[in-house]
Amino acid sequence: MKEHVYDTVYLRGKDFEEGNVLFETWDPNARYAWDTGVGMSRFLQELKAGRLVGAQCSGCCRVMVPPRMFCEHCFLPTDAFVPLQDTGTIVTFSLCYVTWDMIRIKEPQIPIVVAIDGASPGMGIMHLLGEIEPDAVKIGMRVQAVWKPAEERTASITDIAYFKPLEQGGSQ
């Protein structure tokens, strides 16, 4: 099938750095302001108050986090916001040593999916883990939210600074 492959021209990074090839550049001028919606507005508002909430569907009885205006399974409106705990269990994690544009970082960021206590099983959110040595992180580890001081909260997911390991004997 060699004859069905076009002999495309391969450029090297050097070709650009040394100006051996022509190129045009452009920076997009696009800013967005997203309305946070019915389900998410309440979630963010509660974060500012230092609380996590889910939404319950009376159809399937799931308690969902992040909360939502409608249940995507039953396709019905959710019925109520329900309080959740700020503790949970690590479902999975990574130790990330690069930034998004592939620059190396020394101390890894530790993204996690954390299943939140009080929500239905497996209902997790993504966040970061702190106050732990990278090689000590384990799936199944119990964690708790570390909240920013109330005056620094802005109704954002970052009102939780990160999650940290739950002390032994902590609430289940």
Q: Footprint of another protein on this chain (CB under 8 A)?
A: 1-13, 21, 25-26, 28, 32, 34, 36, 40, 43-44, 64, 66, 68, 72, 91-102, 108-109, 111-113, 122-128, 139, 156-158
Min CB(158)–another protein separation in Å: 5
Comparing CB distances to another protein, the nearer of 109 and 166 is 109
Distance CA 52, CA 128 (A): 16
* DSSP designation for 158: G
Place of tokens 């302001």: 33
Distance CA 118, CA 116 (A): 6
Comparing CB distances to another protein, the nearer of 114 and 165 is 114
Distance CA 45, CA 52 (A): 10
Residues 55 and 76 sit within 8 Å (Cβ to Cβ): no
Min CB(15)–another protein separation in Å: 8
Comparing CB distances to another protein, the nearer of 9 and 169 is 9
105 phi and psi angles, rounded to 5 deg = -120, 150
Comparing CB distances to another protein, the nearer of 102 and 136 is 102
Place of tokens 């959110």: 125
Q: Give the number of residues written for the chain.
A: 172
Closest CA to 44 of 128, 153, 118: 153
Comparing CB distances to another protein, the nearer of 34 and 167 is 34
Min CB(169)–another protein separation in Å: 25
Min CB(102)–another protein separation in Å: 6
Min CB(105)–another protein separation in Å: 10
Q: Give ∠ CA 42-46-51 in degrees, rounded to 5.
A: 140
